């Protein structure tokens, strides 16, 4: 079946534009409840980030699920990974996240977790899509679902996060600045790090429904860097709006992205005598990251961009660590999905065990210069089917050799091709990227 609603990361769009409407959410809740309740009365958790439209969609989903005969547990504002964890611990049939992650408040979306706290299997997503097209009915009056709010959801998740940090370590003596992006981590992240002993200063912890991700968080780390330098903190940690991504800054305010954070975790595991057979990155992971891992004898494979594809490859290989340069990091030895707080704790654990500064922990990895140019198209074109483009790619790759990389990636959402080149020399990389972009632009005009 061709998917109509579910993308690689659930259903997402502009609020008020189909399917991100209350009418659709009512039907989606009913369809999901109908599918999940086939083996009896289902139980579904609903959590959300802090954007204003979440209240409306929470009510619509709750009504649809109850109409289908499902009981609903309402978590309120909670990080996406918290919903995955709580779905598992409550032995629920599924968890629903109302969030558009790092997008602005005008967007929203729906993501499902299975009862095991992982992404919902394809067959269930397809079954829900099929049910959406059916006429909406209602369970018998005696079989309707109930809704209950979980008052201790935050406390449960805080304890889980703390439990992923080594019991023989603490964060005493560290001053940390947290940027919660006015999002779902605002009321849980400060408690986690403070209860482990850190002196915590927080920004981005005053959500008003409209300010989520605005000039803050993992997509805008400059505010964090400025505060770390001004306060003399040892490090800063920035989450995105739903808490499944994290980036950090060192004491000098220098950004440490997802590739570097994964490197620090892998290095820490190695130094502690733990086996790290390999790491899964993406097509966009920095070449310097791959080289640094291989120098430690750690395997590396690239998946398509998107945490879903990273997870699938990790599971196929049996590897426990992977993620994206954007800060979506999967530590499968700790939890089932990308978790910004858990990933940050693993970085801090490696730092505490290794000693020194956070900047020193990433010193073994040299990021290669990278240039990207977006070439806009009149219509979608597959660059692999255009000989002139492929000839130019081969020429650039031959010139760069093993110390450089060329990637042409068509956008999945708009008519453009992303031309990316990385290598040891920044000027050479920029030149190759400009030449390739010109070739692509000329070839697609013909």
Compute the average pLDDT of residues 221-232.
Answer: 98
| Fold of the domain spanning 172-255 | Alpha-D-Glucose-1,6-Bisphosphate; Chain A, domain 3 (3.40.120)
pLDDT of amino acid 274: 94
CATH superfamily of 11-151: Alpha-D-Glucose-1,6-Bisphosphate, subunit A, domain 3 (3.40.120.10)
For the cut 80, the answer to whether the pLDDT of residue 413 exceeds it is no
Domain boundaries, the chain: 11-151, 172-255, 257-367, 370-445
Q: What share of the chain has pLDDT > 70, as a percent? A: 98
Identify the weakest region by mean pLDDT among 10-19, 90-99, 409-418: 409-418
Cβ-contact 77, 53 below 8 angstroms:
no
Task: Considering only residues 81 and 307, tell me which one the structure prediction assigns the higher pLDDT.
Answer: 81
Say yes or no to pLDDT of 39 above 70.
no
Architecture of the 370-445 domain? 2-Layer Sandwich (3.30)
Q: How far apart are CA 244 and CA 255, in angstroms?
A: 18
**Mean of the pLDDT values across residues 90-103?**
96
**Residue 374 phi, psi dihedral angles, 5° rounding:** -90, 120
pLDDT band at 3 (very low <50, low <70, confident <90, very high): confident
Examine residue 19 and say whether the peptide bond preceding it is cis (omega within 30 degrees of 0): yes
In percent, the amount of the chain with pLDDT more than 90 equals 88
Mean pLDDT (the chain, rounded): 94
Please report how many Cα atoms fall inside a 13 Å half-sphere around the Cα of residue 205, on the Cβ side: 17
Q: Whole-model pTM?
A: 0.94
User: In 10 A of CB 353, how many CB atoms?
Assistant: 15
Question: 10 Å Cβ neighbour count for 261?
Answer: 24
> Over the stretch 295-312, which tens digit does the pLDDT of each residue have?
999 999 999 988 889 999
Catalytic residues: 101
Mean pLDDT of 49-71: 97
Radius of gyration of the chain (CA): 23
* Alpha-carbon distances of 19 from 25, 32, 111, 253, 396, rounded to whole Å: 8, 15, 13, 41, 43
- Same CATH topology for 172-255 and 257-367: the answer is yes
Phi then psi dihedrals of residue 200, to 5 deg? -115, 130
Higher pLDDT, 2 or 204: 204
For residues 20-33, give the mean pLDDT: 98
Q: How confident is the model at residue 67 (pLDDT cuts 50, 70, 90)?
A: very high
Spatial strand order of the sheet with 255-256 comes to 199-203, 175-179, 235-239, 246-249, 255-256
Over residues 132-173, the pLDDT tens digits come to 999 999 999 999 999 999 999 999 999 999 999 999 999 999
Looking at residue 446, its pLDDT comes to 60
Give the confidence band of 443 by pLDDT, cuts at 50, 70, 90: confident
3-class DSSP state of 372:
strand
| Mean pLDDT, residues 106-123 | 93
- Smallest CA-to-CA distance from 118 within 308, 328, 281 is with 308
pLDDT in the model for residue 291: 95
Output the pLDDT for position 1: 56
CATH number of 257-367: 3.40.120.10
Q: In the numeric block, which tokens belong to residue 329?
A: 């990091």
The answer, yes or no, to whether residue 17 has pLDDT greater than 70, is: yes
> pLDDT tens digits for 346-397?
999 999 999 899 999 999 999 999 999 999 887 767 788 889 999 999 999 9
On the question of pLDDT at 36 being above 60, the answer is: yes
């Amino acid at each position: 079946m061709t998917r109509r609603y579910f993308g690689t990361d659930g259903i997402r769009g502009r609020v008020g534009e189909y399917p991100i409407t209350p009418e659709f959410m009512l039907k989606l809740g009913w369809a999901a409840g109908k599918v999940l309740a086939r083996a009896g009365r289902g139980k579904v958790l609903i959590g959300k980030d802090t954007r204003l439209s979440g209240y409306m969609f929470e009510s619509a989903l709750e009504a649809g699920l109850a109409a289908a005969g499902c009981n609903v547990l309402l978590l309120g504002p909670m990080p996406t990974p918290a919903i995955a964890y709580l779905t598992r611990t409550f032995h629920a049939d599924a968890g629903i996240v109302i969030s558009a992650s790092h997008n602005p408040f005008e967007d929203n979306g729906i993501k499902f977790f299975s009862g095991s706290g992982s992404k919902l299997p394809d067959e269930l997503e397809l079954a829900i899509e099929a049910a959406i097209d059916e006429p909406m009915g209602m369970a018998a009056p005696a079989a309707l679902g109930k809704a209950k709010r979980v008052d201790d959801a935050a406390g449960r998740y805080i304890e889980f996060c703390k439990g992923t940090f080594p019991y023989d370590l603490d964060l005493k003596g560290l001053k940390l600045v947290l940027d919660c992006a006015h999002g779902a981590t605002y009321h849980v992240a400060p408690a986690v790090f403070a209860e482990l002993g850190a002196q915590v200063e927080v920004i981005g912890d005053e959500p008003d429904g409209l300010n989520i991700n605005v000039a803050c968080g993992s997509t805008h780390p400059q505010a964090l860097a400025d505060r770390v330098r001004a306060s003399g903190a040892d490090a800063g940690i920035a989450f995105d709006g739903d808490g499944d991504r994290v980036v950090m800054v060192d004491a000098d305010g220098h950004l440490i992205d997802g590739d570097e954070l994964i490197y620090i975790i892998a290095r820490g595991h190695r130094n502690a005598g733990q086996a790290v057979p390999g790491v899964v990155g993406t097509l966009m992971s920095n070449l310097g990251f791959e080289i640094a891992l291989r120098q430690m004898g750690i395997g590396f494979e690239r998946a398509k961009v998107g945490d879903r594809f990273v997870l699938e490859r990790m599971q196929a290989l049996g590897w426990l660590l992977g993620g994206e340069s954007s800060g979506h990091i999967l530590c499968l030895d700790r939890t089932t999905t990308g978790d910004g707080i858990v990933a940050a704790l693993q970085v801090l654990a490696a730092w505490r065990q290794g000693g020194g500064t956070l900047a020193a922990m990433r010193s073994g990895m040299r990021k290669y210069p990278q240039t990207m140019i977006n070439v806009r198209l009149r219509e979608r074109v597959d660059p692999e089917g255009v000989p002139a483009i492929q000839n130019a790619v081969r020429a650039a790759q031959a010139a760069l050799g093993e110390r450089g990389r060329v990637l042409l990636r068509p956008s999945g959402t708009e008519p453009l091709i992303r031309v990316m080149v990385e290598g040891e020399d920044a000027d050479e990389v920029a030149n190759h990227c400009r030449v390739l972009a010109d070739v692509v632009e000329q070839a697609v005009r013909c």
